[in-house]
Structure 1
Amino acid sequence: MNKALEKDFETLIQNNEFLIWKVCRVYKKELQDRQDLFQEIVIQLWKSYPGFKGQSKVSTWMYRVAIYIAIAGLRKQKNFIQFSEPDNLPSTAGDVQYDDTKDKQLGHLYNAIAQLNEVEKAIIMLYLEDKSYNEMEDILGINQGNLRVKMNRIKDKLKQIIKP
């Protein structure tokens, strides 16, 4: 791969690393597991980056890849993510350090979200990111009518989980 493509990818990851960390936080409880998932997502983004044509927003594409990898990893093996490092991965793209202190403030909400199924987690995460139902449909492939119904059910479910 050429150096310009590598540099563009590194910048893309640096500018959107928080997006990836959010997906990791929703799908993995332990810091080490989140770091492993982050690495796997970056690898898959790198593999698919040359094929990204810009037909959707970069964030839509990144969420789609990240959520797919998170859910696929859970379905393959509940506690293990397959790791394979591709050739020519930019050297600094996956070396981002994560500050766990902010997560502690959101622990109660994340504990409730952890009790949801994989699709519900993706929906609530995108909702909390203020994604429109159009964007959610693009990312998840679920039509807007179903998303609205699912969102109402998820809200009710979270209220029951969080209820003291």
Structure 2
Amino acid sequence: MKIAIGSDHGGYELKEVIKALLSDEGIEYMDLGPENEESVDYPVYGQKVAEAVAGGQAERGIAICGTGVGISIAVNKIPGIRGSLCTNEYMAEMTRRHNDSNVLVLGGRVLGTELAKAIVKKWLYTEFEGGRHQRRLDEITAIEEKYNQ
């Protein structure tokens, strides 16, 4: 699995922690920036992560800003992206099992490091259940197609 990861300045510190976790887990990643904590705009980095996933350069993505809200909105503007802001392990599990989330969104200023790492691990290793959930994803895709013509 290859993960695209990016943040704004508010998520930079947590991004570095998550990169170390991915390395420890033997998971390949591509860091899409930024390279430091200088102020940057979250839509730019949310778009980079989402486009890497939608374009097939990465299987999944992780996007981080201060609260997770702004970058969550940004990633979900890209067709085919199912970005999910998660604040606990249960949300991470269910967004993979039921929603086949392909971008995990985290808030660097609202999550402790250990909780964030636990959320990432749960999200990484939970599989999509399919079945009735696939029908619902197909309905979401139909909505995207309606408005992206």
- TM-score normalised over the length of structure 2: 0.33
Question: Computing the radius of gyration over CA atoms, which structure comes out larger, 1 or 2?
Answer: 1
Task: Return the structure number with greater strand share.
Answer: 2
Higher relative contact order (CA 8 A, sep 6+): 1
TM-score (norm 1): 0.31
